[in-house]
Structure 1
Amino acid sequence: MISIRLDGAAELAGTVACPVGTAEGESAAGTPLAVLPSDAAAEVAAFLAATEHKGSAGAVQTLPRPLREPSKVLLAGIGSGDEAGWRAAGAALARAAAKETSLTVLAPADLTDAALRGLAEGLWLASYRFRVSEEKPEAALKLAEVVIAVAASPEREDALAETRTVAAHTRFARDLTNTPSLTKTPDWFVQQVRERAGDGVTVTVREREQLEAEGFGGIVAVGGGSVNEPRLLELAWSPEGATKHVVLVGKGITYDTGGIDIKPNDAMQLMRKDMGGAAAVVGALLAVAELGLPVRVTALAPLAENMVSGSSWRSGDVVTHYGGLTSEVRSTDAEGRVVLGDAMAYAVANLAPDLLIDLATLTGASRIALGKKTAALFSGNEALIDGFTAAGAAAGEPLWRLPLAEEYAGDVSSDIADLDNAAGNPGTITAALYLREFAGSLRDRWVHIDMSSPAWSAAPDGELTKGATGWGVRTLVRWLSTVS
C-alpha cells in the first residue's frame, strides 16, 4: 500500500496536487482550496479558467511547470467537498500520479476527518493492483508515498489509521476474490484467513467429516462433486463488555460450474468471484477486531466448490440442512442459498445472535433490477434497512431495498420437501424468501444483501479497479461501528 502521512510543513516541490471545489454562481472555473506559492497560484487560476475546470468530483487537470517548483500541479475536483467527493479526488490522483514516485497533496487548514478519510481511501483503493504473474515494468505503479500537507493532530492521525485498516482489509477481500480458483480452494481460503487473523480473533474450521457428522447437509451436498472438500470457517471477535452480538454469513463458493445443471462457458468466466460474500464478512470482522470496535461479531463462511463429477449432487435430490429443514434440489446452479441456509440455521441454533446478516453473490436477477453498482437489500426491520442504507451511502457502496413480497412466499415450498431451492422469477426476491426460512426466530432481525453485480468491476471506476471490488467490507464496518 502507498505510504500516506500528514505534514503541515511539507516542501512544495516536484508534483503536487491541489483540491478544486465546485464553481459557484456563473463562474466556469472551480476554486482552489489550498494555499499555493504566489506565482503558481496565478497560473493555476488562469489555467482553471482556460480549461473550464469546474471542480467536478474526480476530474483532474495537469498543469506542467518545467524548470520551476512545484514542477507539476494536479488540479483535482472534490465536487461539493463531502467525503464522496474527496474519495473521488483521491482515486483520480492515484491514477494521475501513478508514474510519480511521490506526491504532495495540498489541503485546506480546516480539512475535516471525513475529507481526510475520503482522500486516503480513494488513494489506497484506486492504487490496488492484482496480478498472478509479474507486472510489466511500464505498467507498474511507481507511486510509493503521498504527503498530505496539513497539520497533524491526534484526531487526524486516528482517522488516517482507521481508514488504512479498512482499506487494507478491503484490499484483502479483493485479493481473495481475484485469486483464480485453481489456487483458491476452500482449504486455501481458510489458510489465508488464518494467517491474517490477529489478536483476539478465534478461528474455528469444520472439515467435511465434521460437517457430515453435525448435519450440514447443504454444504456437504454442494461440495460433494469436488476433490477440494468443503469447509465451514467461523471467526469470532468477542470484546469485553460488548452488549450486542452480530453474526455475518457470507457465501463462499470458490468456483461455480453450476454443477450438473452446468453453466454455459461465458457464465463461468468470472465464477471465481462467487465467494465475494465470504471475503467481505471475513474482511469486515478482521477490520473490526483491528479497530477494537466494542461489538461482538461472528463471521461464518460456508466454503465449497460446485463441480461436476460422479459424486455431484443432482437435480431432484432432497438435501437435509443443519437443524432439519429440507430442500428439493430443482437446480444445482442455485447452490449459494443452500450453503447459506446451513450456516444461518447453525447461527440461530447455537450462537444466540442479536442480529443476523448475510451477504451473497446470489442472483443475476439483481443486476437486471438494480444495475451493476447497487446491491439488493432485504429485511423486514425498518431500523436495519435505514442503518444499512446510510452505511452503504457513506461508504460509497449503495444499496436499494427490494420487497420480501409475500405473494411469492408459497413459491419456495416443495411438494416433497420443505423448500424448493430454485423457485423461479422474480429470482432475487424468491431467493431472499428462501433464505428467510433459515432465519427462524431472527427473521425480524435479519438482513439479506445480494451483492452479485457490485462485487466485480469491468473497468476502473473511482476507487474501484478492474476486477474484484471487495464490496461490503466498508459498509459492514461503518454499520457495525453504530451497533451498541
Structure 2
Amino acid sequence: MLAFRLVAEPERLDTLVLPTRPDDRTDDGDADAPAALLATLGWEPAEEVGAEARALLPVARLHGRAGEARMHLRPLGSPGRLLLIGTGDGDEAAWRTAGAALARAASAEEHVTVVMPADATDLAVRGLVEGLLLASYRFRLTEAGDSPALSGVDVVVADPAAHSRSLDVARITAESTRFARDLTNTPSSTKNPQWFAEQVAAEVADRPGLTVRVREPEELAAEGFGGLLAVGGGSASGPRLVELSWQPAQATTHVVLVGKGITFDTGGISIKPVPAMKLMRKDMAGGAAVAAATLGAAALDLPVRITTLIPLAENMLSGGAFRPGDVVRHYGGLTSETTNSDAEGRLVLADALAYAVAELAPDLLVDLATLTGANSVALGNRTAALYSENDDLAGALLTAVSEAGESAWRMPLPADYVEYLGSDLADLYSAPAQGGGSVTAALFLREFTGDLRDRWVHVDMSAPSWAAAADAELTKGATGWGVRGLLRWLATLD
C-alpha cells in the first residue's frame, strides 16, 4: 500500500504534481492555476516552476479535463519531473479520476508530491487518495510482471491537520475495497468455502468489537440450512456460513448484510458452457463486498451495529449434486422446487435471509449478490440492479453508491410477476421460466424476508463486480463493487 503524508509545503523535490482545471489555460486563469497555486506556498523554486508549468499547458495540449496527465522532464532542475493532472470541475468524482490517472502516470516514480489548491475540500483529498490507491491495485500469484514503483505520496495542503480524517477514511475505504478484490480475484483452486471463511476469520483476529462464527456442514444440517446444503452437496469442499459481527457500544441501529458466496459455479447438473464458466471465481463477489465493508466499518469505528452473513458453497457436478426438480427445504421451513441448478445463488441467500429475520431481528436488511446475467442485459456492465419496496431506503443507498463512484439503478418488483413463482410441488419455483430473470430472482428472495420486507434491499451486481479492462480507478479483474457504496451508506446511520 502507498504511504501518504499531509504536509504544509513540498519537502521532496523529485516529482511534483500540479492539478489543472479547464480554465487554467486562459490568460486570466483562476487562483488554482499552477503558477498562482505555487505562489501561495512561499517555496523557493515556486516562481520558476510555476511559470514553466503555465507555459507548458497550451504546448502540452492539456485541457484540464479530469484524468488528463502530462509528464514534463526537467533534467537540470529541481524538481526533476513536473506532472500536470487534470481535475475537471473539481468535485470528488473528478479528483478520484485524477488520482487514478496519477497512479498510472507516476507508476515508475518512487515518490510524488501533490500540491492541492488552497481551497481544497475534504472530499477533494478523499477523492484523490481513493483514486490513487484503487488504480494502483495489482493482483498476482507470482512475482512475474512489473508492479508500480510508487510507494510514497506527499499531499500539500494549507492545513494538514484539517484533512487528516479524510485521509484516514479514504485509506480505509480503499484498503477494504482492495481486500474484496483480492478475495474475488483468487482462483477457485485455492478459494473454497473453508478458505474464504479462514480469510475473514484471520482479518477479525484481535480486532476489538469484531467477532466471527463459522458454521460447518454438520451445524448447517442440524439447524436446517437446506439451501446451502443442496448447493454445496456436489462438492468435496463442504459449505459454510460465516456470521461476522461489529457491535460498537454506542450503536442504536442494527443492519444485517448478506452476501452471496459461491466460490465456484459450474452450474451443477444444469452445467454452464465453458466460456460462461471461466470467470466463475467471481461468483462470491457479493460475499467479499459485505465482509470487506464490515471490516471497513469497524476500522472507521462507525456507530452502527452490523451482522454480516456470507453463505459459502461450491456448486459442482457430482453424484451428490442437487437436481432440477428437487425440492429444497430452506431455513425456517419454506420450500422451493429447483428448476435450474445454475440458479443456485438465490437458494443460499434464501437461507441466510430467513435466518436473519428469524434470529437476528435487524432494523434493516441488505443483500448483495452476483445473481443473474439478466442484470447486464438490462443495465450493462457497470450498473447494478437495486430492488426495494422502501423509497427512503432505496434512495439513501442509491445516493451513497453514486457518491462513492459506483453505479446502481432501481428496478421494479411488479405484483403480477409473483404468480410466476408458483410450484405444484413446493411453496416456490426457484427460477421461473417466464423471463425477467433479475426481477423474478428478487421476488423469490423477498419471500424469505418476512416482516422485514419493507426494510429490505436486494442488489444484483454480477456485471459490475468485474472489469474487462482498466478504467479510471478500476483495474482489470475484480472491482470490489459495493464496498465503497456500503461504507458511505453505513456512515449515515446511527
TM-score normalized by the length of structure 1: 0.97
Give runs of aligned pairs for residues 63-102 of structure 1, distance below 5 A: 63-102=72-111
What CA distance in whole angstroms lies between the structure 2 residues aligned with 1:396 and 1:201? 28
- Matching residue of 2:391: 382
- Is the counterpart of residue 276 in structure 1 residue 289 in structure 2? no
| Alignment gaps of 5+ in structure 1 | none
Structure 2 match to 1:454: 464
* Alignment correspondent of 2:23: 23
Q: Deviations over 1:38-65 (max 9, x none)?
A: 2222222222112332211111112222
The one-character-per-residue Cα deviations of 1:364-405 (angstroms, maximum 9, x if unpaired) are 111111111111110010001110111011100111111111
| Alpha-carbon distance in 2 for matches of 1:423, 1:20 | 54
Q: Distance in 2 between matches of 1:180 and 1:400?
A: 30
Amino acid at match of 1:160: L
Q: 1:151, CA displacement in angstroms?
A: 3.9
Name the structure 2 match of 1:465: 475
Shift of 1:257: 0.3
> Structure 1 residues 380 and 28 mapped into 2: Cα distance closer, same or farther (>3 Å)?
farther
Q: CA deviation at 1:67?
A: 1.3
- Say if 2:257 is the partner of 1:254: no
CA distance in 2, matches of 1:134, 1:459: 21
Does the 8 A contact of 1:29 with 1:54 survive in 2?
A: no
Q: Which is further off, 432-441 or 3-12?
A: 3-12
1:264 maps to what in 2?
273
| Aligned mates of 2:374, 2:26 — CA distance in 1 | 44
Matched, 1:329 2:338: yes
Provide the rounded CA distance (Å) in 2 between the counterparts of 1:285 and 1:386: 21
Q: Counterpart of 1:301?
A: 310
Distance (Å, rounded) in 2 between the aligned partners of 1:423 and 1:55: 51
1:204 to 198, 201, 213: 213
% same residue: 56
The answer as to whether partners of 1:260 and 1:332 remain within 8 angstroms in 2 is yes
**1-side partners of 2:292 and 2:437: how far apart?**
28
Matched position secondary structure for 1:236? strand
How many Å separate the matches in 2 of 1:164 and 1:355? 27
Question: Contact 2:25/2:57 (CA < 8 Å) preserved in 1?
Answer: no
CA contact (8 A) 1:12 1:69 kept: no
After superposition, the C-alpha distances for 1:284-328 in whole angstroms (9 at most, x for unaligned) are: 111111111111100000000000000000011000000011010
3-state SS of 2:323 partner: coil
Q: Residue type matched to 1:9 in 2? A: E
Quote the Cα distance in structure 1 between the aligned partners of 2:107 and 2:129.
Answer: 15
Contact 1:17 1:76 in 2 (8 A): yes
**Alignment-derived partner of residue 14 in structure 1:** 14
- Quote the Cα distance in structure 1 between the aligned partners of 2:180 and 2:395: 25
DSSP 3-state at the match of 1:400:
strand
Q: Confirm whether residue 113 of structure 1 aligns to residue 122 of structure 2.
A: yes
Counterpart contact for 2:214–2:242, Cα < 8 Å: yes
Q: Given that residues 24 and 33 in structure 2 are in contact (C-alpha distance below 8 angstroms), is that contact kept between their aligned partners in structure 1?
A: no
In 1, the alpha carbon distance for the partners of 2:143 and 2:160 equals 39
**AA in 2 matched with 1:232:** L
Pick closer, same or farther for the CA change 1:461–1:29 going to 2, 3 Å: farther
Aligned mates of 1:160, 1:390 — CA distance in 2: 22
Cα deviation, 1:394-431, whole Å, max 9, x if unaligned, reads 10011111111122111122121111111131111111
Confirm whether residue 483 of structure 1 aligns to residue 493 of structure 2: yes
- 1:411 is matched with 420
* Partner Cα separation in structure 2 for residue 311 and residue 427 of structure 1: 27
Residue 439 of structure 2 corresponds to which residue in structure 1? Answer: 429
Closer, same or farther: CA 17–325 of 1 in aligned 2, 3 Å:
same
- Please say if residues 256 and 365 of structure 2, whose CA atoms lie closer than 8 Å, have aligned partners that are also in contact: yes
Task: Give the secondary-structure state (helix, strand or coil) at the position aligned to 1:35.
Answer: helix
CA distance in structure 2 between the partners assigned to 1:105 and 1:215 by the alignment? 56
Q: After the TM superposition, which of the residue ranges 144-153 and 157-166 deviates more from structure 2?
A: 144-153
Aligned-partner residue type, residue 21 of structure 2? G
**For the residues of structure 1 that align with 2:379 and 2:25, how far apart are their CA atoms?**
35
Residue type at the aligned position of 1:99: A
Whole-angstrom distance in 2 between the partners of 1:28 and 1:421: 64
Separation (CA, whole Å) in 2 of partners of 1:371 and 1:61: 32
Other-structure match for 1:122 = 131
Checking the alignment, whether the CA contact within 8 Å between 1:6 and 1:151 is kept in structure 2 is no
Q: How many correspondences in the alignment?
A: 482
Task: Give the distance between the partners of 1:182 and 1:394, measured in 2 at CA.
Answer: 36
Partner residue of 2:53 out of 35, 44, 66: 44
**Which residue of the other structure, out of 183, 191, 201, is the alignment partner of 1:194?**
201
Report deviation, 1:29: 9.2
In the TM superposition, what whole-angstrom CA distance separates every residue of 1:343-380 from its partner, at most 9, and x where no partner exists?
Answer: 00000000000100000001111111111111111001
Q: Which amino acid aligns with 1:296?
A: R
- Which is further off, 45-54 or 412-421? 45-54
* CA pair 29-95 structure 1, distance change in 2 beyond 3 A: farther
Pick from 447, 450, 455 the counterpart of residue 445 of structure 1: 455
Deviations 1:238-282 (A, max 9, x none): 111311110000000000000010000000111000000000001
Contact 1:28 1:54 in 2 (8 A): no
Answer with 401-410 or 144-153: which moved more.
Answer: 144-153
Counterpart CA distance in 2 for 1:135 and 1:88 is 28
Matched, 1:5 2:12: no
Letter in 1 for 2:360: L
Match of 2:301 in 1: 292
Is the CA contact 2:25–2:58 (under 8 Å) kept in the aligned structure 1? no
Aligned to 2:359: 350
**Which one is further off, 158-167 or 255-264?**
158-167
CA distance in 2, matches of 1:277, 1:27: 50
Any idea what SS the aligned residue of 1:109 has?
Answer: coil
Report the AA paired with residue 3 of structure 1.
A
**CA contact 1:439–1:446 (8 Å) conserved in 2:** yes
Letter in 1 for 2:167: L
Q: How well do the aligned residues superpose, as a CA RMSD in angstroms?
A: 1.6
Tell me, in whole angstroms, the C-alpha distance in 2 between the residues paired with 1:440 and 1:472: 25
**Which stretches in structure 2 are left out of the alignment for 5+ residues?**
40-45
Aligned 8 A contact 2:7 2:160 in 1:
no
Q: TM-score, normalised by structure 2?
A: 0.95
* SS at structure 1 position matched to 2:314: strand
**Rounded Cα–Cα distance in structure 1 between residues aligned with 2:160 and 2:15:** 25
